[in-house]
Structure 1
């Protein structure tokens, strides 16, 4: 057989060729032999069966033209063998695993022998097993959540640090202890404060929120403690009730307490110690029955060292600290949070919106300086501009997308807009068909185009 002459190793030359190829033809794994130019010079019967390609269509073709990323090409280029590497063969849409090793002649690489088998079914079963494990993990988390009170059901998590923090929060909620919630902006400090309030015995009484950072220093005292008639120029006739009095019997949430002026901190300390206040301009003492929850994104320990935060107030507030981890330290929660946020965004529609695998990779890779609030904004943006029922990378804000997902126009062969759009269209259709195992209905849904348009483009780009 003419195609056998390309095999040049000394050992094989000494064998009866027909005997050798009888052995190769009866191996259950696919065997492929390439010369130094990556041209396929031999394939066995198992190759034809596994890849669905007749030998006469494979032999004589350059592997570099068919599968430019094939492991065998790297083996020929480097002269180093490769063992047990999973190789995705795009042209036939299968995952193969096996080995590839170089053939030497006169100390130079003259080709490579590859022996491999189709593991697509195993890959499919592995993914199904992974999915089953994820489902089991989800149900386990749901069972664990049942130990948490209903007030904390709004929290979506799998991260152990968050779980431990929530259990502590559920315990302290039932007491009147002062709580200090710590975490970066956007992690959900107010959400946690409301959960603690809802689970407390004061949940039938008011929950009053005060953002200490948003109220000017000269107004914060009167805002918190109220004032008497004529206490200062511009004061309302009859005076005004402060936020502490409004919270009587309930809970006051002092958000961003780290931004409070040093002089004001002393007055808050007195409230925590004496459980009483005086209105601005007044002389009457008003007894308080109020639970205090404070929150900050500042490093209070550093502020104490710098002399900008009172240590005595810190110890009064820090009775039970609840630390919320930033999103970058709980990447295992990103997918659960994203799906939950998407469901909320589409609550009033019948759409079931999903995230593409590429989007999941981008979301998990990004550092999330704005935490959950930023994640919500990103998903809201993507949900608005998406064209199908799946969020794609192109729908995400550009600033969170890594460079490798962005189009580098400097390396385009032509700047002709029509040509580049057609090239991208063709590649998107090809990728969608591959990812959906040639299921055209799924590809149509993923691409977000009509069936008629889809088949017109199949014909245009030669897919049929």
Structure 2
């Protein structure tokens, strides 16, 4: 027997009543919510409590417009429009849901509204995390592409340190312009190498790169060195005068190293050249125009010097257009063994045989603070390559100033029979030695005879930079 457009009775289900309909609604997996025309919540199924975590009895009889005034259920009630598979946020419960809402009619009059929805907060969160992961992956891919695209001149820098790569990528970008560059970093970090790379990657690469060490030139000579002089400008002046470094660099680049050691008087004259691109030779009156790109470098704290009034603020801002900071070696120990191997390969050609480092030397290099940075590392390894006769560099081949005052033997004396500690120390030294000997980590782990997972686990355990 038919009881409506969408239902019939049968011998098993002889009638449709409220109890049966409620049982059906309560077994629906999604939330079912019904409000009347005044937005009073008149029904919520069992899924409401299970999915939203709120007991049904706490919401029955309450007005939805006081709980969730922007609810799609209220929108369906007031507009008479159906919303299908819409996603929205329940501010009262701080969750994301997706579902449908539709008005409830009695005849032609809207007497309420129904919403059927499910909680998708976890799905939304997973989607956000996926988007974040994708964003990070895209960023890393972009950084890798930038790194792969930098000119070969920057590949003179050995290493994979992330901060170094950031600097080199920026340097490669600024190299394509004529902007003034200021290279900052301690002595020995490779400021001149970077200046050379910027010049070699610029449109001026076929023109001269002229280097001036501002700290090495006496105060009474630096002006004539930079700007040249006319015949008879001073006692001892050459006949016919002399071209200065700025004239020699015309069309190319001038590298002003140790610019923080320049006097205030010379700073003022340099500022004029940077601003006007012109100067007069010492003893001359003719104004000379030049087309020169300026790269400056210093290991001094220029901001501190400005406060002490030993460096001009206006010159600082004229130079500080694109600052490039080179990280000291003690802060990029992850590159130390790669750098060491590069230098050893160079010195091996000179001495005529292969050079390797003992595990104790590797540990010494890792523990040392490197105040002289890469230049000191190069000098130390050159010293060792000369002193060492058989190609295997031991601790006693190293310069005396590097040797520790207290050896690790003290800890061995404290625990002379601690097998685990002794084995761990030997294992760490073997790993460090393999990293220093082989070109890459795959070769190192193969020589050690351990799996990739075990290899990286030991790197983390022993605090060896990954």
TM-score, scaled relative to structure 1: 0.56
Cross-structure match for 1:235: 237
Name the counterpart of 2:363. 361
* Correspondence for 1:221: 223
1:272 corresponds to which residue?
Answer: 274
Q: Distance in 1 between matches of 2:353 and 2:287?
A: 58
1:177-216 pair list within 5 angstroms: 177-216=179-218
* Distance change >3 Å, CA 246–CA 309, structure 1 → 2: same
Aligned-residue CA RMSD (Å): 2.4
Equivalent positions of 1:67-146 (< 5 A) are 146=148
Q: Please report how far the alpha carbon of residue 355 of structure 1 lies from its aligned counterpart in structure 2 after TM superposition.
A: 1.5
Q: Flag the 1:232–1:389 CA change in 2: closer, same or farther, 3 A.
A: closer
Residue correspondences, number? 274
Q: Which moved more, 1:353-362 or 1:318-327?
A: 353-362
Q: Supply the distance in 2 between the matched residues of 1:296 and 1:435 (Cα, whole angstroms).
A: 39
- Candidates 155, 158, 161, aligned match of 1:156: 158
Q: For residues 144 and 401 of structure 1, do their structure 2 counterparts lie closer, same or farther at Cα, with a shift above 3 Å needed?
A: farther
Partner Cα separation in structure 1 for residue 178 and residue 282 of structure 2: 27
Residues 144, 200 of structure 1: alpha-carbon distance in 2 compared, 3 angstrom cutoff: closer
* Residue 257 in structure 1 maps to residue 256 in structure 2: no
SS in 2 for 1:313: helix
The secondary structure found in structure 1 opposite 2:279 is strand
- What TM-score does the superposition give when structure 2 sets the normalisation length? 0.56
For 2:299 and 2:430, how far apart are their aligned partners in 1? 43
Q: 1:375-405 CA deviation, whole Å, 9 max, x = no partner?
A: 1111011111123332111211122122344
> Which residue number in structure 1 is paired with residue 290 of structure 2?
288
8 Å CA contact 1:145–1:153 kept in 2: the answer is no
Larger radius of gyration: 2
1:143 Cα shift?
Answer: 8.5
1:113-167 Cα shifts (integer Å, max 9, x gaps): xxxxxxxxxxxxxxxxxxxxxxxxxxxx999853221111111012100010000
Q: CA 1:144/1:310 → structure 2, altered by over 3 Å: closer, same or farther?
A: closer
List per-residue Cα deviations over 1:204-244 (Å, max 9, x = no partner). Answer: 00110011011111111111001111112221111111000
Q: Write the distance in 2 (CA, Å) between the matches of 1:206 and 1:290.
A: 10
Aligned partner of residue 294 in structure 2, secondary structure: strand
Instruction: Indicate the residue corresponding to 1:324 in structure 2.
Output: 326
1:401 aligns with 2:403: yes
Residue number among 303, 306, 313 corresponding to 1:304 in the alignment: 306
Aligned-partner SS, 1:227: coil
Residues 87-112 of structure 1, C-alpha deviations (whole Å, 9 max, x = no match): xxxxxxxxxxxxxxxxxxxxxxxxxx
Distance 1:281 1:297, change over 3 A: same
Shift of 1:191: 0.7
Which position in structure 1 is the counterpart of 2:354?
Answer: 352
Shift of 1:407: 8.8
**Offset, 1:348:** 4.7
For the residues of structure 2 that align with 1:274 and 1:388, how far apart are their CA atoms? 59
The CA deviation string for residues 6-41 of structure 1, in whole angstroms up to 9 with x for no partner, is xxxxxxxxxxxxxxxxxxxxxxxxxxxxxxxxxxxx
Q: Alpha carbons of 1:274 and 1:366: their partners in 2 closer, same or farther (altered >3 Å)?
A: same
CA shift for structure 1 position 347: 2.4
DSSP-derived class of the 1:208 partner: strand
Q: What is aligned with 2:390?
A: 388
Relative distance call for 1:361 and 1:191 in structure 2 (3 A) is same
- Deviation, structure 1 residue 350: 5.4
Q: Deviations over 1:420-442 (max 9, x none)?
A: xxxxxxxxxxx9xx979xxxxxx
Q: Per the alignment, in what secondary structure is the counterpart of residue 205 of structure 1?
A: coil
Summarize the Cα distance change of 1:276–1:406 in structure 2 as closer, same or farther, 3 Å threshold. same
1:28 aligned residue: none
Unaligned runs of 5+ in 1: 1-140, 412-430, 437-464
Q: 1:341 aligns with which of 324, 328, 343?
A: 343
Structure 2, unaligned stretches of length 5 or more?
1-142, 414-425, 432-466
